[in-house]
Structure 1
Amino acid sequence: MIIDLTGKTAIVTGSTAGIGFAIADGLAKAGARVVVTGRTQAAVDKAVAAIKAGTTAGSVEGIAADLASPEGAAALVRAVPQADILVNNLGIYGAKPLFDLEDDDWLKLFDVNVLSAARLSRHYAPGMKDRGWGRLIFISSESAQNIPVEMVHYGVSKAAMQALSRGYAKALAGTGVTSNAVLPGPTRTDNVGQFLADFARERGIPAEDAEARFLTENRPSTLIRRFATAEEVANLCVYVASPLSSATTGAALRVEGGIVEGIG
């Protein structure tokens, strides 16, 4: 199987680190023109340089903007008016007891995780439709189907992304444009590394035991018994972004190590 994205322009939101960076890197290695986005110019420049250092297949550029705001989205659209592939990866999370969640907690999660994706998809999808080809990818989470009690607002926002993806798939039926949600599970990233270090310290256990302990306590149904790597998530996304995935649309594609119970 050869994935060739030469001639395609791909935007990956929230792509200066973690899963977003791995997706941007994978798309560039497949030959795409990749637009990296992040909130600060320094983070964007660092990510662009790292991707360029690893491949000469595609081209890479960066846009610094807060895509959770209308102004940030407008800045991206001005810089890159059209795209063939839009990966809505931008997202935040945080633990807080359900009964302590205030309106601002909900609004912040939805502005970043949902409205940013809705706003950008609203702009880029019509152009894809007019050209007869395109890929919308929404990075949801296994938490959309397995709502975590410690961060219900996060799970709800990711369920909304899954619904948004399905809605776009139906609106774009028969156009050559596909829309899919990708559902990662616990994934090893820099942010998660700090989370696990804090987790180990709180429980008084060695740092190397934190991952297994977290899974035992919080995701006991995992079948791979480990965190995924960002590259493992990115591999699925690169395939979904490619012409090879043309019969896959409106789907919730799980790359979460079997955490979600059920065979659907």
Structure 2
Amino acid sequence: MNIDLTGRKAVVTGSTAGIGRAIAEGLARAGASVVISGRGEERVATALQELRALFPKGGFSGVVADLATLEGAAELFAQAPDADILVNNVGTGRAKPFFDIGDSEWRDLFELNVMSGVRASRHYVPDMMKRGWGRVVFISSESALAIPVDLIDYAMTKTAQLAIARGLAETVAGTGVTVNSVLPGPTNSEIMGGWMKAAAEAQGITQEEAEQQFLKTTRPSTLIKRFATTEEVANLVVYVCSEQASATTGTSLRVDGGVVRTIA
């Protein structure tokens, strides 16, 4: 399969590292020009420098903005007013017992993980519909289906993304715009990699041993018996953004290593 996104412009939120960065690279490799975003000027500048070194002929631009805020969203839209492909990737999570999560933490996480995608979709999708082509992808999580007890607030935001994506797909039905969710499982992303590195250092074991310990205790149903790479997640996202995926819409696609024990 030859995926060619030449001439397409993609906006990937939260793309200076981790899964978002891998998605930006994958889309660029397929020929798309890519707008990356992040909250820190130095991180955005570094990512742009590295991407331009990897793809000298690629088209890249960067936006420094906090997409958990209305002001940050406005900054993104001002600097990148249009897109053929929108990947709502920005988000975070933190392990914390339910009874210790305060109201402000719930609101802050919802603003970043959910409202960032709502605002971006509300801005970019109408023009996609007018042109008769567009791709929107929400990066959710297997935690949207199998709720971890120490990440209930995070799981709530990921489940919310599934509802938004399905509703938006129905809203744009027949326009040539597709909307889907991609659900990674345990992945060597910046966030999870950081957690595993800290756990390894605290216990005096290797990071690989910490990952295996995590899988055995919290994700024993994994079928690949390892963390996925960010590139493996990005591969599915790039396909969903392609012309070849024109009949795939309104669905949730798992790249979770088989963690969720269901056949549907």
User: For residue 124 of structure 1, what is the aligned residue in structure 2?
Assistant: 124
User: For residue 193 of structure 1, what is the aligned residue in structure 2?
Assistant: 193
| CA–CA separation in structure 1 for the residues paired with 2:257 and 2:181 | 16
Please identify runs of 4+ aligned residues in structure 1 that moved more than 2 A.
189-194, 200-208
Secondary structure at the counterpart of residue 92 of structure 1: coil
CA RMSD of aligned residues (A): 1.1
Asked whether 1:29 is paired with 2:29, we answer yes
User: For residue 228 of structure 2, what is the aligned residue in structure 1?
Assistant: 228
Deviation track 1:135-162 (CA, whole Å, cap 9, x = no partner) reads: 0100000000010011101001000011
User: For residue 242 of structure 2, what is the aligned residue in structure 1?
Assistant: 242
Asked whether 1:215 is paired with 2:215, we answer yes
The number of equivalent residue pairs is 264
Deviation track 1:160-197 (CA, whole Å, cap 9, x = no partner) reads: 01111101100000000000000001111233222112
User: For residue 76 of structure 1, what is the aligned residue in structure 2?
Assistant: 76
The alpha-carbon deviation at position 100 of structure 1 amounts to 1.8
Paired AA for residue 54 in structure 1: L
| CA–CA separation in structure 2 for the residues paired with 1:205 and 1:103 | 36
Gaps of 5+ in 1: none
User: For residue 168 of structure 1, what is the aligned residue in structure 2?
Assistant: 168
Gaps of 5+ in 2: none
Paired AA for residue 41 in structure 1: E
Paired AA for residue 231 in structure 2: E
The alpha-carbon deviation at position 54 of structure 1 amounts to 1.3
User: For residue 19 of structure 1, what is the aligned residue in structure 2?
Assistant: 19
Paired AA for residue 75 in structure 2: A
- What's the TM-score, normalizing by structure 2? 0.97
Secondary structure at the counterpart of residue 93 of structure 2: coil
Map 1:91-102; keep pairs closer than 5 Å.
91-102=91-102
The alpha-carbon deviation at position 208 of structure 1 amounts to 3.4
Asked whether 1:103 is paired with 2:103, we answer yes
Determine what percentage of the aligned residue pairs are the same residue. Answer: 56
The alpha-carbon deviation at position 108 of structure 1 amounts to 1.1
Say if 1:138 and 1:181, in contact at 8 Å, map to a contact too.
yes
| CA–CA separation in structure 2 for the residues paired with 1:259 and 1:207 | 20
Secondary structure at the counterpart of residue 158 of structure 2: helix
Say if 1:28 and 1:57, in contact at 8 Å, map to a contact too.
no
Paired AA for residue 87 in structure 2: V
Asked whether 1:262 is paired with 2:262, we answer yes
